[in-house]
Structure 1
Amino acid sequence: MPVRPVIGGIGSPGALSEALAAAQYDADPELATAAYLALALGKPLLLEGSPGVGKTEAAKAIGSVLARRVIRLQCFEGIDAAAALYEWNYPRQMLAIRQAGEDYLNIYADEFLIARPMLEALRAPEAAMLLIDEVDRADHEFEAFLLEFLSDFQISIPETGTVRAPVAPVVVLTSNRTRDLHEALRRRCVYHWIDYPDPEREARIVMMRASAVARSTADAIVAAVGRLRAEPLAKPPGVAETVEWAEAATLLQRQGAPWPEAFRRAIGVALKDHDDMAFVAPRLDALIGGEAA
């Protein structure tokens, strides 16, 4: 398989890791290597992991590093080609037909075409990055459709012809693994599993994303989040919730709430499910601790 020229001046996994850090994303060496190989080999990057570990943020950071516009396709149950590719603006076509009268009208002109994310990525005047987010929420039929798109980076519009990308877009897919993806789709990708970061790295992320938070506060929040993730929660806090909890607790503390109280009162930033809140309520003090900040 031919290797692409260096993309965006990034010539190694280490260089990509440094660039991601400058874009406020702390990538471990394994993620940086997988992303670099996907870019160099011209293959899609498949990021899989639990909700909240930073898959979408990783994709956005890669787009930022490459200086590419990120076009996001949010998958959902029942998504079809019309929602992902294009559709015709029928109301506008009908209005134009009435206004044209007996004059000739091309109802399949571009002005009547509504481009959805995949067509938009193909037609972008400058190379873009297509983020296919939560692909596991789509069905197997949509996966089969993706296989064809990712093979040739072109689509056929029956009324107008074939649209080809002048430069193949960078493609990143994310999956929460709510179901297994088809093996054929996996084979076309460079794969990486993103896990929750270790405490030291998660504290670094908090400090990177929330500069007003003290390091002692970040350490206390990360320790508490680790204990909460060990519980059988429906929606354990992700990395984004860790950052937001640290910011919220710091804000309450600056408004006069003593540290342990500020820590506890901000719990609604970390847990977003009523049953989870009820489950941990009897042991909340033990779970979140009372570390001084």
Structure 2
Amino acid sequence: MYESAEKLTEALSGENYVIDPDFAVVVFLATRLERPLLLEGPAGVGKTELAKALAAASGRRLVRLQCYEGLDDSRALYEWDYGKQLMHVQMLRDRIGELLSDTASMAEASARLQATDTGLYTEDFLSVRPLLDSVLSDEPVVLLVDEVDRTEESMEALLLEVLAEGQVTVPEIGTFTARSTPWVVLTSNDTRELSPALKRRCLHYHVDFPDTARETEIVSRRAPEVAADVVEGVVELARRLREMPLRKSPSISEVIDAARAAAVLDRGAGDEVRRFLLAALLKYGSDMDMAVRRLDGDEAGESEVDVATDEGWVNSSTRGKSPTSSAFAGRGGGGASTGGRAAADRYRRGVR
């Protein structure tokens, strides 16, 4: 248990997790009040890493439930080990014969069998999954429910009992109450709106990309072999990319990879180095094309319509491209839009 947000910040710093002061206060409150913490924000801003660093810094075991579409209670809570149960039944078969050997009727045998505990539905035959594991653990754990927004809303209902009561109900046995209070961290990439019932049970914080100074510190800690000027250049490139309307902005981990790539490459290669850095930072061809055009100074390039020039009709996606831009031609998003071609046809026919 941490005495203050400052102590928590120091502990996380020891795990190379750089946290801003406001975020540290919310995490501190979640640990002191023992309330679940819901972290929302774009992918790649350090939400999952917070849970990992918190577990490492506090000496707690990390229990992770990775959410996905189609996740059900048998993967999140528990399921019965039918193999072990079958072996147990085979071992009991001879003993059951002895038990019923002196019964005079089927009804008497059935009644005696029903009154006998065969031990098939006990904790010994449970295959625990992350949620039940966090409840049954004798030692405190950090429970990470990662990307909860990827599941169906019905899955959120299964989480409520764990989040609100710290317990899991197994119909065949009863209710298991947490033997130690887990610290619960839920993450969401905002792919869908979470239910008010889930949000009501959590402290909430929206995690965004860090500012330039903080990201520079993060990258320097995670890639200490990279020179400071290289780190600053890559972080600045990532900042410029995030200002563009990309399908996917560069995550912090991708910036770290790009910094390591820049350290390996010859920094004197200019545009060639930037080309390979963009390959590490961007994952879609259309994003690559847009980034190349804008970084080369063609701020209007993404409109991609036919325009009239002294040289004739050209497509704005290729107009003014540098040799570096041309190297990325044809990787998605290229060519005139349907509306642009229609406008060009109307212009040729004299239609205004």
Same fold (TM over 0.5): yes
Q: Partner residue of 2:14?
A: 22
- The total of aligned residue pairs comes to 278
Q: Partner residue of 1:201?
A: 214
The worse-fitting range, judged by mean Cα deviation, of 27-36 and 172-181 is 172-181
CA distance in 1, matches of 2:296, 2:259: 17
- Equivalent residues of 1:121, 1:169 under 8 A apart: yes
Counterpart pick for 2:291 among 274, 280, 290? 280
CA distance in 2, matches of 1:163, 1:237: 42
Q: Partner residue of 1:237?
A: 250
Q: 1:96: Cα distance to partner?
A: 5.0
Q: 1:72: Cα distance to partner?
A: 0.6
CA distance in 1, matches of 2:284, 2:120: 49
The worse-fitting range, judged by mean Cα deviation, of 30-39 and 62-71 is 62-71
CA distance in 2, matches of 1:203, 1:61: 19
CA distance in 2, matches of 1:232, 1:282: 13
Counterpart mapping for 1:163-178 below 5 A? 163-178=176-191
| Percent identical residues | 42
Are 2:279 and 1:268 equivalent residues in the alignment? Answer: yes
The worse-fitting range, judged by mean Cα deviation, of 41-50 and 258-267 is 258-267
Q: 1:251: Cα distance to partner?
A: 1.9
Counterpart mapping for 1:42-191 below 5 A? 42-94=34-86, 96-98=88-90, 101-103=93-95, 106-191=119-204
CA distance in 2, matches of 1:79, 1:278: 37
Larger Rg, first or second structure (1 or 2):
2
3-state DSSP of counterpart to 2:79: strand
Normalising to structure 2: TM-score of the pair?
A: 0.73
Post-superposition Cα deviations, 1:6-53, rounded to whole Å, max 9, x if no partner, equal x1xx21111111111111011000110000011111111111111111
Q: Partner residue of 2:344?
A: none
Post-superposition Cα deviations, 1:58-79, rounded to whole Å, max 9, x if no partner, equal 1111111211111011111222
Normalising to structure 1: TM-score of the pair?
A: 0.87
CA distance in 1, matches of 2:297, 2:86: 65
- Equivalent residues of 2:234, 2:259 under 8 A apart: yes
- Taking structure 1 as reference, are residues 260 and 156 closer, same or farther at Cα in structure 2, changes over 3 Å only? same
Q: Partner residue of 2:231?
A: 218
Q: Partner residue of 1:4?
A: none
- Taking structure 1 as reference, are residues 13 and 79 closer, same or farther at Cα in structure 2, changes over 3 Å only? same
Amino acid at match of 1:233: L
Gaps of 5+ in 2: 97-117, 299-323, 325-352
Q: Partner residue of 2:327?
A: none
- Equivalent residues of 2:137, 2:180 under 8 A apart: no
- Taking structure 1 as reference, are residues 273 and 106 closer, same or farther at Cα in structure 2, changes over 3 Å only? farther
Counterpart pick for 1:228 among 235, 241, 248? 241
- Taking structure 1 as reference, are residues 103 and 251 closer, same or farther at Cα in structure 2, changes over 3 Å only? farther
Q: Partner residue of 1:192?
A: 205
3-state DSSP of counterpart to 1:76: coil
CA distance in 1, matches of 2:176, 2:130: 14
- Equivalent residues of 1:46, 1:191 under 8 A apart: yes
